[in-house]
Structure 1
């Protein structure tokens, strides 16, 4: 009988642990969606000048769209407040420098990136580039893990507590988790939540300046705030980015389902988001064409905010939609592995597939 009670107690404990862990993930994910970058992190503000070039260089070296300069800046702020002196930037766990590396982790990610002959976590260039490599590695692991939640939050949790802690809870560790015996509970949870919430504080101006007002200009302006947001097949709502899904053909990257772990937009959800709530467009590209086809626009009469469509043949085979951004360019979410960006119309999709344009 004691064995039965012990087994039952253990099972109940495991269920409670799982529920709490999932609750922590859901809370972090909800916060992440509420504080998405206003311009995809393409610009920076409030960052010391000596950090700025290294942040852009670290992001470019990674290539993972979730890693933005603003995300890294927010992380540096919460790690050591951009401080570089040993008195202010050494933790009680012997983490060193502006990116707070312990010796064991530095041995893996640290290099003499600034070329001054020293490989040290105290040099800004070395520290930021190592931070970028570590976060890039964590993001790749998070996206391939199959765990729910925003991969940025998972990566931050791995950076702070080690990936083993993320694996233990299959997500961001819950609020009662302590990194080490005797450490404060909730440290990792609070770390992730604070960094995600402060990303917007470090974002610079939008990469696309939109003049004028009206339905089309306002829609383009709203869409431009999502430049740099990852593409996610089936992801995105009128309220902002969300994770998507894979359908057997779409949403995969490197043989894995990228959409299910990527918070972002696909082409038509970005358009729907841009025009919401003043104009309630349908969710998919073909339906958006159907809802606006009574207002066609010729190629030489395009105005900012007009919708452009590409098809494999006929209105029933429309597969892509983009927003005209002026000067022969479109703003769109191209495909899995890319981000919301501005491109020339001629380079956005195969020229022979261009079907036409409409004005919502």
Structure 2
């Protein structure tokens, strides 16, 4: 009987070690919040954002092809970028290494910019990021960078080169200012 009770006690102890309680998920939310605060400690100057916007504008104007996961473009056909890749590469080349690589982490960087939106693109500063959710549960799933003059640079989908355009009004998710 003692062996049986010891066995049951061990099973209960082991199973409780792998059980997740509601507090565990609260801790996860707190960790995400702290990550966002850390990212915001390392924001670049507006001069860096202006330089990043100019680099994104160059990539979006030179025929850089869309390549999922891509972060390099030789302009003229070699390499390619996806939506978060043009953001990542432009900021890094402008001198800020604090930008993360993918859309779902870029949304946690910077600060909210409620004035900048597709309905008010003139309020967007160069380097602001506009995020979109075009369906699914992993939102946001698209990002564009404001480049000034109410325009954005983006790499949207396979078969389409990166381009400068007016921000989309549908499926808008949020704006984050990096500077």
TM-score interval, normalised by the smaller of the two chains: 0.5 to 0.7
- SS of the residue 1:225 aligns to: helix
Residues 319 and 269 (structure 1), Cα distance of their counterparts in 2 relative to 1, 3 Å cut: same
Match of residue 290, structure 1, among 108, 111, 117 = 108
> What is aligned with 1:231?
66
Are residues 335 and 262 of structure 1, via their aligned partners in 2, closer, same or farther at CA, if it must alter by over 3 Å? farther
CA RMSD of aligned residues (A): 2.5
Q: Distance in 2 between matches of 1:315 and 1:218?
A: 33
- The structure with more helix, counted as a fraction of residues: 1
Unaligned runs of 5+ in 2: 1-45
In the alignment, the residues of structure 1 paired with residue 113 and residue 138 of structure 2 have an alpha-carbon distance, to the nearest angstrom, of 16
Cα offset for 1:291? Answer: 2.0
- Runs (5+) with no aligned partner, structure 1: 1-212, 243-260
Give 1:215 shift: 2.2
Whole-angstrom CA distance in 2 between matches of 1:314 and 1:281: 25
What is the TM-score normalised by the length of structure 2?
0.60
Equivalent position SS for 1:270: helix
Could you say if the C-alpha distance between residues 280 and 233 of structure 1 is closer, same or farther in structure 2, counting changes exceeding 3 Å? same
Q: Distance in 2 between matches of 1:316 and 1:338?
A: 23
User: Given the alignment of the two structures, is residue 241 of structure 1 paired with residue 57 of structure 2, yes or no?
Assistant: no
Size of the alignment, in residue pairs?
Answer: 122
Structure 1 residue 315 displacement after superposition: 9.0
Query: Is 2:126 the partner of 1:304?
Result: yes
Give the deviation of 1:268 after TM superposition: 0.2
Select the residue among 165, 170, 173 that pairs with 1:352: 170
User: What is the deviation of 1:235?
Assistant: 1.4
Q: CA deviation at 1:231?
A: 0.5
Point out which structure has higher relative CO (alpha carbons under 8 A, 6+ apart): 2
The partner residue of 1:265 within 78, 81, 88 is 81
Distance 1:315 1:295, change over 3 A: farther
Q: Which residue number in structure 2 is paired with residue 216 of structure 1?
A: 49
- Contact 1:286–1:315 (Cα < 8 Å) also in 2: no
The structure with more strand, counted as a fraction of residues: 2
